[in-house]
Amino acid sequence: MSEKKKIGFYWCGACGGCQVSILDIDEMILDVVEQVDIVFWPCAMDPKYEDVEAMEENEIDVMFINGSMRMEENIEMVELLREKAKKVVAYGSCSVNGGLFGLGNLSTKDRLLEKGYTTKTTDEGPFPQRSSSVKEGELTLPELTEHIVPLEEIIDVDHHLPGCPPLPNQLEEAFPALLDDETEVGKYDLVSDKSVCDVCPMEREEKKIEKLNPIQNVYLDPEECILDQGVLCMGPATAGMCDAACPEVGHPCVGCNGPVKNVKDQGSRMSSALASVIGAEGEEKKTEEEVMEVMKSIRDPTGSFYMFSLPSSIMQFRRGDLDE
């Protein structure tokens, strides 16, 4: 019997869904544990930083890192894990593209803290301090990074496996391939070159729509394309590894898989898709104000088009405040 692979999982700034998703493969997990030893998994074990430091270089065969790079501690840890791992997989959309937390890049870290701890939307309480003295000694909190970047901007990444979280069908493909030395897997081979629209059971007719409407204002026909019905759906710009799970049950795609393979900017792809279908009927006869009113129906374009991918986009973060 061949020697078991050593794998690990590390959780940066995230909701925890990617950690849970590892267990979503049901019985297949029994096949995985026959092939691997999990040597590092803070969510399920209690390893210390010193334990990782003591590991040999390349001791871990495959290291799965999920979550956004939100704290200096995350950066320090992933740099150490890169030294100890032969392969690193950016696991989940936060790691690959910055994820939902990446929308924090529209602000500064100081404004985020101020909003979270001092506004009327929160209970009054202590503002977090970098260090505090207690009878046991000095306690120090890690510093927030100025803005979130994809894991690949911190360390070399061997494979991208996006998703919020990656679904069982993705893991059923990824695990055997990544654990088999005979199988060649490219960096982006686990990202689909088909969009959610391409795999959606509802055929898109690319109807011309007057404006976009909030989903709560529309009675959706379950047999008809959601975007054709005038509701924003990120299907044209989103990688389709999910087999269009959300549109299939009547919910618009929100873009959680990030962009299609070989597409840099998910928002630009979506803008292009919308430009071909949205427009004011008789636009040439309308005033500029009337045309602008149609365009305003695209509510919160940054938050909608880049909900999961702002840090990996061309824009990356709000430039004005951070460049001053």
Specify the CATH number of the domain 5-101+145-179: 3.40.50.700
Residue 318 confidence (pLDDT): 80
Pairing assessment for the beta strands 5-11 and 36-40 based on DSSP bridges: parallel
Residue with tokens 């001092």: 118
Residue 124 confidence (pLDDT): 66
Distance CA(160)–CA(148), nearest Å, equals 17
Name the residue ranges covered by the structural domains of the chain: 5-101+145-179, 196-323
pTM score, two decimals?
A: 0.89
Distance CA(118)–CA(121), nearest Å, equals 8
Residue 282 confidence (pLDDT): 56
Mean pLDDT by 10 residues, the chain (324 residues): 84 91 83 87 88 94 96 95 97 96 92 82 73 89 92 96 94 90 91 95 81 89 91 95 93 95 94 78 64 78 94 86 48
The DSSP code sequence of 142-159 is PPBPSS---GGGTS--SE
CB–CB of 148/312 below 8 Å? no
Distance CA(143)–CA(60), nearest Å, equals 28
Helical spans, DSSP H, in 109-184:
109-118, 168-179
Both tokens of 206, joined, read: 């690319």
CB–CB of 89/161 below 8 Å? yes
Quick check: bond before 165 cis, omega within 30? Answer: yes
CB atoms within 10 A of CB 114: 13
Distance CA(289)–CA(172), nearest Å, equals 52
Closest CA to 241 of 174, 192, 186, 168: 192
Distance CA(227)–CA(93), nearest Å, equals 23
Q: How far is CA 192 from CA 31, 96, 163, 189, 252, in A?
A: 25, 14, 11, 7, 19
